[in-house]
Amino acid sequence: MDNFVIENPSGGDIEFRGELLHSVSSPELGQVWVYRAASGKFVVKQTRRALRGRTARDAVAVMDSLEQVIDWFETALEKSAMLRALGLAKRFTI
C-alpha cells in the first residue's frame, strides 16, 4: 500500500493509505482515478473537459462501495465505460 494525497478542487485535499485500483483516460470519461483506501472506502477523481454539449468536471468523492462509485458518474455512457474499465461489465449468454 502507498500513501496518497488527492487534490480536491472544491474542498480539503484527501489523504489516505491505499492502492490505485484503476486509472483511465477516454473520450467518454476524461481522466479518472479510482483508489481503495486501507479503511475500505473508495476515492474517485474525475477531470473532464467540456465537449459536445457536456460540461467540464473536476471533482473528487469518497464513497463506501464500488456501486456508489459507478452511480457517481453522470451519464449511462460514463457508467458503462467505468464498469468496463473496472472489469465489472455484465455479460449475457443467449
pTM to 2 decimal places: 0.83
Contact 26, 5 (CB under 8 A): no
Residue 94 lies in a domain: no
Q: What was the pLDDT predicted at 30?
A: 85
Residue 26 lies in a domain: yes
Residue 53 lies in a domain: yes
User: Is 40's pLDDT higher than 90?
Assistant: yes
Q: What was the pLDDT predicted at 91?
A: 66
Residue 10 lies in a domain: yes
Residue 93 lies in a domain: no
| Closest to 34 in 3D by CA, of 77, 75, 81, 76 | 81
Nine-digit cell at 52? 459536445
Q: What is the per-residue pLDDT across 52-66, written as a single tens digit (0 to 9) for each?
A: 766 778 899 999 998
Residue 91 lies in a domain: no
Mean pLDDT of the residues in the chain: 87
The domain of 69 spans 2-85
Residue 92 lies in a domain: no
**Domain count within the chain:** 1
Contact 59, 10 (CB under 8 A): yes
